[in-house]
Amino acid sequence: MIAAILLTIVFIFLVFNLFRRTGRLPPGPTPLPLIGNIHQLAYQVWRRKGIVAALNYYRKKYGNVYTIWLGPMPTVSITNYDMAHDVFIKNGKKCYDRQLAPILEHMTGGLGLLAANGENWAEMRRFTLLAFRRMGVGSGLIEKRIMNELNGRFKHLQGSNFIVVLILRCSELDAEIAKNGKVIVPVDFFDLTVGSVINSVLVGKRFDENTKDEFLTIKKLFDASTETFNLFDLNVPVWLLKWFFPSRFQLTWDARHNILNHVSKEAFERLKQLDSGKHDIDSKEPNDLVDCFLLKMREEREKGPDGHTGYTMEALKFVLHDLWLAGQGTTATTLYVGFMKLVNHPDVMLRIREELIRITQNSRDLTLQDRPKTPFLNATIAEIQRFTSVLNVNFWRINHETIKFKGYEIESGCMLTAQVGALHVNEELFENPEKFDPERFMRNEKLLQQTIPFGIGKRSCVGEQLARSELYLVFGNLLLRYDVKAHGATPTNEDVFPYSSAKLPDTTGKFEFAKL
Ligand code: HEM
């Protein structure tokens, strides 16, 4: 009897508390105590065959800001630019902490950038942005690294001599074209090109004939873990995953550890060489992010007790891991999806080429300085990024102060995010969102600002400038050099894992490149 009374009191308390909190939050489906809206969300995801479709359904029903309770936690999703700006820019200081997926936190111990918060994250983010700047991200220097990858001007150490290795991306293509008139280009081409640029920025090495298999193995393992990683993995406790879904846990663990081992091998080797005097860092011109970090580590240690204690080899491992992980697949997928779109829209490709030939007189490479003069290429890249929207569910933030906007009150401790995938199919901003139409950005220039593939606010993508440079130079220069067609049937551009937290296209498609 007493137990029944106690249970009733607890139940009434839960209902009352839920009712009180729901009243001030943005609208959404009616939640149940303890399970919230999980049952409705699961049904809508199943019925509409994907996470973005379900989030879009809730947008149409409740408006551009709505609340879904994941169990006892309210989550606020925002699906238009102005509201995202109100929350994540105007109130940016109140919501820069990330809701950490327990499995990721378990693996990183709160180090790095993606699954970190607080002072540690802030320091590593500042460091990364500064290190990128020192290596030329945002200036002409990064262009050199990217174009080197395409053009093949590389210095590799062999024995005691530097030799120039010319067998690189475009040279490989050109050699094949010289033999057969055309070359078949699979997704690996984009993976390796992007992987090499990132590896070169982070650890100063590109992937060559000897190391490309190592890269492709890590990449495949990582893709396999991403395919299954979804809302469930983002939220469940580690013990539950380990006990009830051990193979799922193991896949995520193995993929992350392979990347960790790969990137940290280089960093530890460098430290050894530095300690033994075999390597010296030019403090005015560090070669890569590892050099920048080791310099900073030395600097902080020399300050004694006043130095920042966050600069450790363990911290470096996770910073490298996160940059590699977040930067490789996202950029390569955008390039691959972009070319898939372009081969299906040859008119767009032709118009870009005309624009580029006009600018370069077909006598030089396209450079980052050309950007203001190539509005149609810029518009096409924006439309490609809108279509690609690499995340089905954006990472959640947690607000640590109440946020008031548009008459709502989001009390501290809520999970909130700009749902980039759903925002990019919002027909209030993008008329006929299912249509590939770069022209929409020419008709309305404001749209460029309202498309936010890199997220918004203090946790937005740290690699945005690097990725934008890569996309511009690789799309532009390949279109300037090659006639590109689909090889065989073009696979669907639809997301093949619509239930996963990341968007993944069917990557079995191939292209035929012929010299122009
Ligand atoms: C086309 C390419 C890319 C896209 C579409 C993309 C997209 C995103 C998005 C949507 C976020 C989450 C933003 C949020 O939480 O609101 C993010 C975060 C992040 N991205 Fe990117 N990204 C790209 C390339 C890169 C590159 C090249 C790097 C690094 C080399 C990188 C590193 C990161 C990191 C470290 C974070 C976490 C930042 C933090 O929590 O402070 N990304 N990215």
Share of the chain above pLDDT 90, in %: 47
Which residues face 157 on adjacent strands? 162
So what's the pLDDT on residue 19?
Answer: 67
- Position 340 scores a pLDDT of 93
How many Å apart are CA 351 and CA 363, to the nearest integer?
18
C-alpha to C-alpha distance for 396 and 300, rounded to whole angstroms? 32
Of 461, 464, 503, 504, best ligand 1 pocket probe by most atoms within 8 Å of the beta carbon: 461
pLDDT in tens, 459-492: 999 999 999 999 999 999 999 999 999 998 777 6
The mean pLDDT of 297-317, rounded to a whole number, is 91
Q: Residue 230's pLDDT is what?
A: 67
The tens digit of pLDDT for each residue in 399-408 reads: 999 999 888 8
The tokens for 495 are: 């997301």
Question: What is the band of 206 on the pLDDT scale with cuts at 50, 70, 90?
Answer: confident
Q: What pLDDT band is residue 148 in, cutting at 50, 70 and 90? A: confident
Q: Is 198 in the pocket of ligand 1 (CB under 6 A)?
A: yes
Interval between CA 124 and ligand 1 midpoint (Å): 14
Q: How many other C-beta atoms can be found within 10 angstroms of the C-beta atom of residue 482?
A: 22
398 bridge partner residues = 97, 415
The answer to whether 385 and 334 have CB atoms below 8 angstroms apart is yes
28 falls in which pLDDT band (50, 70, 90)?
Answer: very high
Alpha helix positions (H), 389-486: 420-423, 439-443, 446-450, 464-481
User: Model pTM?
Assistant: 0.90
Atom number in ligand 1 closest to CA 418: 16
CA distance 439 to 255: 40
Residue 157: predicted pLDDT: 37
Of 193 and 234, which is predicted with more confidence?
193
**Rounded distance, CA 437 to CA 451, Å?**
14
- Residue 494: which of 324, 328, 344 has the closest Cα? 344
Per-residue pLDDT tens for 407-433? 888 989 899 999 999 999 999 999 999
Give the CA distances from residue 440 to residues 336, 386, 436, in Å, rounded to whole numbers and listed in that order.
22, 12, 9
Indicate if the pLDDT at residue 17 is higher than 90.
no
**Domains observed in the chain:** 95-389+424-515 (1.10.630.10)
Distances (CA, A) of 66 to 29, 60, 73: 9, 10, 14
Across the range 146-156, mean pLDDT stands at: 67
Q: How far apart are CA 68 and CA 27, in angstroms?
A: 9
Q: Is 461 annotated as a binding residue?
A: yes
| Any ligand 1 atom below 6 A from CB of 331 | yes
Residue 394: which pLDDT band, with cuts at 50, 70 and 90?
confident
Question: CA-CA distance, 373 to 376, in Å (whole number)?
Answer: 9
**Structure tokens that stand for 157 in this block:** 């150490």
Asked if residues 466 and 324 have their Cβ atoms less than 8 Å apart, the reply is no
DSSP string, 353-387: HHHHHHHHTTSS---GGGGGG-HHHHHHHHHHHHH
Please report the pLDDT score of residue 331 as a whole number.
94
The ipTM assigned to this model is 0.99
Tell whether ligand 1 has an atom less than 6 A from the beta carbon of residue 114: yes
pLDDT-wise least confident of 192-196, 475-479, 503-507? 503-507
Q: What is the rounded average pLDDT of the residues 494-500? A: 70
Q: What does pLDDT average to over the chain?
A: 86
Q: Which residues pair with 502 in a beta bridge?
A: 391
Vertex 8 angle, CA 33 and 31, to 5°:
15
In this predicted structure, what is the pLDDT of residue 49? 87
| C-alpha span between 166 and 241 (Å, rounded) | 47
Instruction: For residue 234, give both structure tokens.
Output: 């983002």
Strand partners, 410: 403
Tokens matching residue 378:
């810029």
pLDDT of residue 154: 45
Residue 12 has pLDDT above 80, yes or no: no
Q: What's the rounded mean pLDDT across residues 253-266?
A: 81
Please report the pLDDT score of residue 161 as a whole number. 32
Residues sharing a CB contact under 8 Å with residue 239, sequence separation 6 or more, in sequence order: none
- pLDDT digits over 164-176, tens only? 333 357 888 888 8
136/233: higher pLDDT: 136
What is the DSSP code string of 480-504?
Answer: HHEEEEEESSPPP-SBS-TTSSB--
Q: What percent of the chain has pLDDT over 70?
A: 92
* Gap from CA of 462 to ligand 1 centroid (Å): 6
Which pLDDT score is estimated for 159? 35
Q: Which residue's CA lies nearest to atom 20 of ligand 1?
A: 461
